[in-house]
Structure 1
């Protein structure tokens, strides 16, 4: 018997198996870190350490080139992330990536296309509240837990 026709079939099977294993490894390499939340192409991580807004933004940048304080672009995302924060054991006011630099903008420079202000917010009390925790403005030097995100 000749091994001729079986050899290309075996090689093709081996190549397909290797591609499947490599693809599976790549998929696992692009999942969220443990205890982070995946939502629509982004990973979100809640940090209980209390930091100023700038310190929190700096900490988030350590989670890859796209790491930032979270930006929120829909009611669905706001609801999902509010629920995620509510499930944390040491939850409190939580910094997100919104900041007032003459106008409201996200730290990742994405479009400011959604907001859900708390009642009577933003109020910029004493003209010193330029950073945002979950839909309430505060002075940027206050220290709160924070929500990081990075795109997969």
Structure 2
């Protein structure tokens, strides 16, 4: 009988220890979970995975690759400067690139550009990019946004409006 109780307590202990490694929802401003539900090499933050790809693609090719990678995947969008800086630091650890496609692009509408994230979220063109600049609303061939100065995280110039046909590495975002 004593061995059965001992075995049962050991099993209970293993269950308790094993369950504590499951990622919990980020209710504070805590950073990255120790045990990530994302693939190896990807960044986990606030129930999303960010995955960097060093292969250079045009903006459209990169967006298509993100959609194929995971259901609901898109080029990365950032709701805050903090999140953009975290993802930039992750990219800096993985690559020496200075330009990376993200999911902000524009659609010409009459005589102006309408900006939105590739996941369908509208971008308020009257607001500033997280580096204190606003994208141009004038119609041009520069209709996509790339992270810029990835290797210089303290730089004030962080996002660059550019021609979507240029090929650069990219970062995808999808639900964990």
Q: Return the alpha-carbon distance in structure 2 between the equivalents of residues 89 and 130 of structure 1.
A: 25
- 1:133 corresponding residue in structure 2: 146
- 1:107 corresponding residue in structure 2: 118
Q: The residue matched to 2:68 in structure 1 has which SS? A: coil
C-alpha contact (below 8 Å) 1:130/1:140 kept by paired residues: yes
Unaligned runs of at least 5 residues, structure 1: 1-9
- 2:171 corresponding residue in structure 1: 147
Match among 73, 94, 109 for residue 88 of structure 1: 94
Asked which structure has the greater RCO (Cα within 8 Å, sep 6+), the reply is 1
CA offset at residue 73 of structure 1? 0.6
- 1:45 corresponding residue in structure 2: 51
Larger Rg computed on CA atoms: 1
Offset from partner CA, 1:91-117 (integer Å, 9 cap, x none): 230000000113110000124367224
Given the superposition, is the C-alpha separation of residues 105 and 126 from structure 1 closer, same or farther in structure 2, using an over 3 Å criterion?
closer
Segment drifting more, 83-92 vs 135-144: 83-92
1:78 aligns with 2:84: yes
- 2:110 corresponding residue in structure 1: none
Q: The residue matched to 1:142 in structure 2 has which SS? A: coil
C-alpha contact (below 8 Å) 1:96/1:147 kept by paired residues: yes
1:65 aligns with 2:71: yes
C-alpha contact (below 8 Å) 1:92/1:145 kept by paired residues: no
Given the superposition, is the C-alpha separation of residues 75 and 95 from structure 1 closer, same or farther in structure 2, using an over 3 Å criterion?
same
CA offset at residue 125 of structure 1? 9.2
Higher-helix-fraction structure: 1
C-alpha contact (below 8 Å) 2:115/2:122 kept by paired residues: no
1:116 aligns with 2:130: yes
Q: How many residues align?
A: 140
